Amino acid sequence: MTRRLLSRLANPQLLALAGVLLINWFLFPNFFRITWQDGRLFGSLIDVLNRGAPVAILAIGMVGVIATKGVDLSVGAVMAMAGAVAATLVVAGYPAPVAVAAALVVGLLCGLWNGFLVAILDIQPIVATLVLMVAGRGIAQLITEGFIVTFTDPVLIFIGTGTFLGLPMAAVIAIVLLVMVTLLVRKTALGLFIEAVGVNRAAASLAGIRSRMLLLYVYGLSGFCAAIAGIIVAGDIRGADANNAGLWLELDAILAVVIGGTSLLGGRFSVPLAVVGALIIQAMNTGILVSGFPPEFNLIVKAALIFLVLIIQSPLATRIVPVRMPAREASK
Amino acid sequence: MPDEQFALEARGIVKIFGNHIALDAVDFGLRAGEVHALLGENGAGKSTLIKILTGAYQPDGGQVLANGQPVYLDNPQQAQGHGIGTVYQEVNLLPNRSVAENLFLGHQPTRFGLVDRRKMEREARTILSRYGLEIDPSSELGAYSVAVQQIVAIARAVELSGKVLILDEPTASLDRNEVERLFEIIRDLKARGLAVVFITHFLDQVFAVADRVTILRNGKLIETRALDDMSRTDVVRLMLGKDVAFSGATGVEDARPMGEVLLDFSNYGRKRSVHPFNLTIHKGEVIGVAGLLGSGRTEMARIMFGADAADEGEVSVAGKKTTIARPTDAIKHGFGFCPEDRKAEGIFGDLSVRENIVIALQGKLGWFSALNRDEQLEIAGRFGEAMDIRAASLDMPVKLLSGGNQQKVILSRWLATDPAFLILDEPTRGIDVGAHAEIVRTINRLRDEGLALVVISSELDEVVAYSSRIVVMRDREMVAELNGENINPGVIVQAIANHRDEELA
């Protein structure tokens, strides 16, 4: 039992996360120090959790999409839209719950729209979601009428910056979402169906899986998650910035999912490992920031990481180190 | 005639993939001014031979000669240089460029180093008119029908190459009039002295246009002959390898007592896919479906299962009228379907054997009531054992299994749903002898347990052995239903080969 747990912990993603954290510790000896102050935890690690939460939430939605051999490029723009909707509604005097609910509905509708294009009209996901990636930011700017809409609503601000049990609210939301989505896909047959559609959609349809409905669900979930991330980011800066909220975050989310071991060719996926992927990215960001390197380094280090992941997943590498999967099966 | 000069000749071609011999010392000679049909079932080696003649593959033995001179074709461009052009079933042109550009792509007439568009379009017009096409060469190719695109492809191949034209299933997506038009062009090219290789699954078309025929089977040359002294039955017999005497019954046991009617398809069909057919299926019977590739066998299976929706006719299950528009409808009525292309439509390569077996049952249960891991293991284990699936572990990816074991996995998948009716499309193709026997044994066992089965197979001996009835497909139409004494290979071959107007009684 413990051996099984150990072998689970010894997967490449967790080792990579540990590696990045260790490097951070060398560069910045106080990296692991966590203090308790004013009823909340402080420290670089907590920072990683807090700052990494939006991308982690996007990755939770994105992983299902990528597992079906798709991709959702629109999540950054959907974040901006959701933030704009929530901000303008509270500024217009609506209570925060209404504003949040409206933003979530907008995100869900965006996701369903993507799902409609992909599942019903059979448009390639990268093109289908590009539509909303471009249009979404425009719609967000229309909603905010081109301004940064600032607000003072305490509930929204709490969602972005508050704490719960000493942990940043954003991290708490990400953890709750992680647990819920993981249970949803693993305790029902949804996970199996998603993987089946991703591995072979034709065979899935012949085996009696309603692949179109399933695609609608996964894109809908991705839009919903993007809306949550958008609300958090808006609450964090106390305003909706249609131009910059969520900008390029879709790429970080995709990277997180890929680092988490889900292939862009679809199939096997893991929600927790996608979140670990998001934490790896954030740990690098934070590490570079606290160690005093100029932030430009960030892009280069990230590029190097992408390169490394691609090499590891390339057909060449799987040929050189071929027998990992079967060997594990045989030893059982 | 060893000293005969062929426009294109293959001598003793051997091609080996891994430990599979795709072509075994095949000779093939093509005369100028003839249309030469190349026939064979799937896996006979037709496309491998064509790829060697066009330089896409290199032979492991033997040589290719053009006009009596040995040539070495390293790539399709070289083949073009030797006058060999090819047109595939899927038109290989650029639909978003103009007709003229497609005709001259890579060989555009130039002036001062720039493409001379006017000259190109003028020449294109002259060339196209030779093929009876009066279309605007500056318009986009994609705007025209597949037939027109096909003709443009032929024109391009002939203009670039000019000696040998290889047509790989050119008629598969054309309707009757378009086929006739294509044939006129082929006859015209023949009169101009071109050598034409014609590959098709439609026997009528072979007899309509070809002069000689070469038949391959399992990578071996079976026969090259003039078509004048051959009947359709001869051709089918050579293709299927049935040296059967037409002796009538082979002493099949008496018709088994039929169960009650399970399914009734009446006037059931789909446009451009299968002509409407009538078929009543009883519990406890196996209906064998015979016919050449492309005869509409698979299409019939697909509309029965709802993989393609029927647009005509009615179906009733256990006496009640119903609609089967998608696979989930069919599965609700207890149908199961093992498709012909196991890899593309059957297995989930990266998923485990266990998941591959439970997936249809889970699909039937819906996403909410998930089978947990132990239940999955129990089900997979039970059916895996019953089907004798040889896998090191039920958790290994199914893609690592042999073809035969993969087929058993797909059968187990449907058996786990407790089906009443199974459609098996070529369940024994390309699998080892042991798995083959196991699958035939399973078909017999299921029939005795009262299931209804439709089994499509090219293996006539096998179909004859387990079928209670046999239906024969030809040209997308159900042309015969054979019972009792007529269930024997000779009668089946005759029914497959028979021409439309000499219909079997």
Contact yes or no for B350 and A329 at CB 8 A: no
pLDDT at residue B158 tops 80:
yes
Contact yes or no for B393 and A203 at CB 8 A: no
Kindly report the length of chain B: 505
b (16+ CB within 10 A) / e for A95-128: ebeebbebbbebbbbbbbbbbbbbbeeebebeeb
Chain B segment 415-444 residues within 8 A of A by beta carbon are: none
The reply to whether A309 falls in a domain is yes
Q: Please, what is the angle between helix A211-237 and helix A75-91, to 10°? A: 50
Contact yes or no for A205 and B307 at CB 8 A: yes
DSSP state at residue B258: P
User: pLDDT tens across B489-503, in order?
Assistant: 888 888 888 754 444
Of the candidates B345, B359, B393, the beta carbon closest to that of A192 is on: B359
Chain B segment 289-348 residues within 8 A of A by beta carbon are: 305, 307, 326-328, 331, 337, 339, 344-348
pTM score, two decimals? 0.74
Its domain, for residue A175, covers 48-321
Return the number of CB contacts < 8 Å for A and B: 86
Task: Tell me the residue ranges of DSSP E strands in chain A.
Answer: 35-37, 40-42, 149-150, 163-164, 167-168, 239-240
Q: Does B370 touch chain A (CB under 8 A)?
A: yes
Q: What is the dihedral of CA A301, A306, A308, A313, to 10 degrees?
A: 170
The reply to whether A82 falls in a domain is yes
Residues of B in contact with A313 (CB under 8 A): none
Name the nearest CA neighbour of B235 among B247, B225, B245.
B225
How high is the pLDDT of residue A313? 67
Strand partners, B471: B289, B481
First and final C-alpha spacing in chain B: 42
Neighbours of B439 (CB within 10 A): 22
Contact yes or no for A208 and B328 at CB 8 A: yes
Nearest CA distance, B364 vs chain A (angstrom): 7
The reply to whether A284 falls in a domain is yes
The residue in chain B having the minimum alpha-carbon distance to the alpha carbon of residue A198 is B348
Q: Does B374 touch chain A (CB under 8 A)?
A: no
Strand partners, B8: B30, B66
Which residue is it, tokens 């001062």?
B112
How high is the pLDDT of residue A321? 56
Looking at the 3D structure of chain A, how many domains does it have?
Answer: 1
Contact yes or no for B397 and A190 at CB 8 A: no
Residue type, B284: G
Q: Give the pLDDT mean for A300-314.
A: 78
User: pLDDT tens across B401-440, in order?
Assistant: 888 889 999 999 999 999 999 999 989 877 777 788 888 8
Confidence of residue B245 (pLDDT cuts 50, 70, 90): very low
Of the candidates B345, B355, B364, the beta carbon closest to that of A208 is on: B364
Q: Does B247 touch chain A (CB under 8 A)?
A: no
Confidence of residue A323 (pLDDT cuts 50, 70, 90): very low
DSSP state at residue A281: H
**Which of A206, A265, A313 best probes binding to B when mutated, by most B CB atoms within 10 angstroms?**
A206
The reply to whether A8 falls in a domain is no
The reply to whether A4 falls in a domain is no
More confident residue, A99 or B171: A99
Q: Chain-wide mean pLDDT for chain B?
A: 85
The reply to whether A327 falls in a domain is no
Dihedral of CA B298/B302/B307/B312: which sign?
A: positive
Residue type, B286: V
How high is the pLDDT of residue A3? 59
More confident residue, A35 or B500: A35
The reply to whether A210 falls in a domain is yes
Q: Does B377 touch chain A (CB under 8 A)?
A: no
Name the nearest CA neighbour of A185 among A173, A171, A196, A172.
A196
pLDDT at residue B141 tops 70:
yes
Strand partners, B167: B87, B198
Contact yes or no for B351 and A196 at CB 8 A: yes
- A213-222, B207-216, B377-386: which is most confident: A213-222
Strand partners, B226: B212
Would you put residue B288 in left (φ > 0), alpha (ψ -120 to 50) or beta?
Answer: beta
pLDDT at residue A183 tops 50:
yes
The reply to whether A332 falls in a domain is no
